[in-house]
Amino acid sequence: MTAPSTTTSPSKQPAAFLGNADAAAVVNRLRACSNVLILTHTKPDGDAFGSCLALARALRRVGVTATPVLYPPLSNALRGLAETDEIVLAAPEGPGQAMRGEPDCIVVVDTGSWSQLGPAAEFVRQRADQTIIIDHHINGNAEMASERLIDGAMPAACQIVADVVMRLLNVSSASALPTDVAEPIYLGIATDTGWFRHPSVLPSTMRLAADLLDAGVNQNALYQRTEQSDRPQRLLLAQRALNNLQYIAGGRAAVMVLRHTDFAESGANLDETGGLIDLPQAVGDVRVAALLYEPEAGLTRISMRSKAGDHPVDVNMIAHSFGGGGHKHAAGARVAKPASDVLPLLIKAIESALA
């Protein structure tokens, strides 16, 4: 029995990054494969990790060899949700080193941008005709894949993956999914929506979440494992971020900066920046929050959030001006400059957007 779609029809995308396949077409192609490589963006978050793990587990259940290859840093909380041999943390030389034979299909989830694939980019460039993208972002590189399942209306790639794995496993409701497939899907949706707090959440998202709980997902255990298992060093990093916080645009925006030395001095890891961007949003007047941090000297990552409501700021447009992208209310960029150079440019862009 073919599963009904849990996603909406593909959203309008910029001409450079259009979807050209639906879930049924993607599933038909995957069923014809024997050895699938699954990739996502560097520094995988819950949605990227969950998409990889759920798809791999579903493919294995229908007899397809599936190898998710992830590029660290990967948080210990996420790593602990997979069995030791379920995922591969890739070596710098590329994903080919992790494969048992040449893949006959590559699936890239939660991104469609060359700049986010890291060392895997060159491997994929040589195999675009074998590649499928499953993504919910509105910016990317269409030439990466011959088939693209893209829906920018979805709050998480895992909501799209849910449709794919239901069809793969021939179930009509997510409540009938095996728990080990349902759990990473729930994880991805929950973490990418701030545990269902973000304005991107749809009615279909909540219905899917309820079905996944019916499938046996233990939300409390997942939440504790991913959100309440911080090391003490993360709080020291948060302290440094808040010490550097400045309000701009008359208090309608807040910007925090973490320099490369802050990580060494606090003992925190790069993957422990997750969630820091949410701290300034607790202030009622703040409409836009931004975090700049230096993963290494001379390189700055930007993370931005905006609140819904009257005249919301499209942070995707701001990120795009820095060579990045994302969504209307959540976006980011990577800039090959120190934070001290990027900060005044970002402040100017945010103030202009709020003018």
pLDDT of residue 11: 42
Please indicate, yes or no, whether residues 87 and 204 belong to a single structural domain of this protein.
Answer: yes
Contact between 14 and 152 under an 8 Å Cβ cutoff? The reply is no
Peptide bond into 73 cis (omega under 30): yes
Please indicate, yes or no, whether residues 57 and 181 belong to a single structural domain of this protein.
Answer: yes
344 assigned to some structural domain: yes
The CA distance from 299 to 349, in Å, is 19
Please indicate, yes or no, whether residues 238 and 220 belong to a single structural domain of this protein.
Answer: no
Phi, psi of 269 (to 5 degrees): -100, 165
pLDDT of residue 326: 85
pLDDT of residue 10: 39
Examine the fold and report which residue of 201, 226, 251 is the final residue of a domain before the chain moves on. 226
CATH number where 275 lies: 3.10.310.30
Q: Domain span at residue 269?
A: 232-354
The CA distance from 162 to 159, in Å, is 5
The CA distance from 31 to 21, in Å, is 15
195 assigned to some structural domain: yes
Please indicate, yes or no, whether residues 94 and 54 belong to a single structural domain of this protein.
Answer: yes
Examine the fold and report which residue of 199, 226, 253 is the final residue of a domain before the chain moves on. 226
Closest CA to 124 of 146, 97, 106: 106
The pTM of the full predicted model, rounded to 2 decimals, is: 0.84
174 assigned to some structural domain: yes
Tokens of 164: 């794919």
Please indicate, yes or no, whether residues 222 and 242 belong to a single structural domain of this protein.
Answer: no
**pLDDT tens string for the chain (355 positions)?**
333 334 433 344 434 688 899 999 999 999 999 999 999 999 899 999 999 999 999 999 999 999 999 988 888 889 999 998 899 887 655 666 666 678 999 999 999 999 899 889 999 999 999 999 999 998 899 999 999 999 999 999 999 999 999 999 999 999 999 999 999 999 999 999 999 998 899 999 999 999 999 999 999 999 999 999 899 999 999 999 999 999 999 999 999 999 999 999 999 998 899 889 999 999 999 999 999 999 999 999 999 999 988 889 999 999 999 999 888 999 999 999 999 999 999 999 999 999 8
Contact between 275 and 355 under an 8 Å Cβ cutoff? The reply is no
Please indicate, yes or no, whether residues 169 and 265 belong to a single structural domain of this protein.
Answer: no
327 assigned to some structural domain: yes
CATH number where 190 lies: 3.90.1640.10
Total structural domains within the chain = 2
Q: How many CB atoms lie within 10 A of CB 254?
A: 25
